Amino acid sequence: MSDMNASVSETKSGFHVEGYEKIEYDFTFIDGVFDLENGNLADCYKRWGRVLAVTDLNIYNTYGERMEKYFRHYGLDLTVHKTKIGEKAKTIPTLLSIVAVNYGNYKNRLGAYHAPIHTFLDFTFLRTLPRAQIRNGFAELIKISSCSHLETFNLLDRYCEALIDTGFGRTDGAPDEVRKAADAINREGIHEMLKLETPNLHEIGLDRVIAYGHTWSPLHELIPETPLRHGHAISIDMAYSATLANVRGLLNDKEHRRVLDLFSRAGLSMDHHQFNEEVLDKGTAAIMKTRDGKLRAAVPSPLGKCVFLNDVDQAEMNRALQRHKELMKDYPRNGEGLEAYVDASDTGYTESDFNENKAIDIAAKKAGSLNGHINGTSSPMTNGHSAKKGIEGLKETNGVNGAYDGLTNGASGFTNGARG
* pLDDT averaged over 10-residue windows placed end to end, the chain, 420 residues: 85 95 91 96 96 89 96 97 71 55 61 79 94 96 97 98 97 96 96 92 89 90 86 97 97 98 98 93 92 95 97 96 98 96 72 52 42 37 47 42 35 36
**Model's pTM, two decimal places?**
0.77
The whole-number pLDDT of residue 119 equals 94
Give the contacts of 311 (CB within 8 A, at least 6 positions apart): none
Task: Evaluate whether 408 touches 402 at the Cβ level (below 8 Å).
Answer: yes
What's the rounded Cα separation, in Å, for the pair 415 and 345? 9
The whole-number pLDDT of residue 102 equals 62
CA angle 94, 98, 104 (to 5 degrees): 70
Bridge partners, residue 300, by sequence:
306
The whole-number pLDDT of residue 1 equals 61
The whole-number pLDDT of residue 11 equals 96
The whole-number pLDDT of residue 165 equals 96
Per the rule left: phi > 0, alpha: psi between -120 and 50, beta: everything else, 369 is beta
What's the rounded Cα separation, in Å, for the pair 305 and 383? 28
Cα distances from 291 to residues 110, 148, 235, 297, 314, in angstroms, run 15, 21, 21, 10, 17
The whole-number pLDDT of residue 107 equals 57
The whole-number pLDDT of residue 67 equals 97
What's the rounded Cα separation, in Å, for the pair 296 and 282? 16
For residue 302, is the peptide bond before it cis, meaning its omega torsion is within 30 degrees of 0? yes
Give the contacts of 12 (CB within 8 A, at least 6 positions apart): none
The whole-number pLDDT of residue 34 equals 97
